[in-house]
Amino acid sequence: MTSLLIGPDLRARCAWVGDDPEYRRYHDEEWGTALHGDRALFEKMALEGFQAGLSWITILRKRPRFREVFAGFEPEAVAAFDESDVERLMGDAGIIRNRAKIEATIGNARLVRAMAEGELDALMWSFAPPATGARPSSFAEVPAVTPESTALSKELRRRGFRFVGPTTMYALMQSAGMVDDHIAGCWRA
């Protein structure tokens, strides 16, 4: 598989974008852009957890509904969800109806709520590796797991967070701009 793809606008992009306009928008506007804030990172953590075992485009297409039913991913609001909310969410075909992931999102919100404001942001970003300026030249150079994502996963798990494995945390690090995995030659690189 080629690592770069020329889009309809004649820009070279990371080839995982394919020809899907929503993926192209996500790549161009969000993926790899520094993301800060407890609410934003909680949302990213939750959605990456829901993505486990699925394609990201599935989550991306369902993201508006996820935001609607999970109260905009405001940790305080989600932390107040109870068993009736779990049942409501289990019945909503607009999201991924996985009880363990729904319950983990609610439990993770409670953990975020118990943290000081800004603590989740500071914690997650403390595991970002130093920027090297070097970008991968091909997909083969992009890891699925790194020592930093493993350490972040371990710390989050120690604190009680769920669905935060090393691969999931590396995907979060990529999408939240903690690492820059845009392929060399990508217009975003």
Residues annotated catalytic, as ranges: 26, 48, 56
Q: How far apart are CA 173 and CA 83, in angstroms?
A: 31
Amino acid type, 134? A
Residue 96's closest CA among 57, 148, 38, 139? 57
Question: Are 104 and 49 in contact, with CB atoms under 8 Å apart?
Answer: yes
* Residues β-bridged to residue 13: 5
* Run of H or E residues at 89: helix 83-90
The DSSP call for residue 13 is E
Q: How far apart are CA 27 and CA 12, in angstroms?
A: 11
Q: For 175, phi and psi rounded to 5 degrees?
A: -70, -30
Question: Are 184 and 167 in contact, with CB atoms under 8 Å apart?
Answer: no
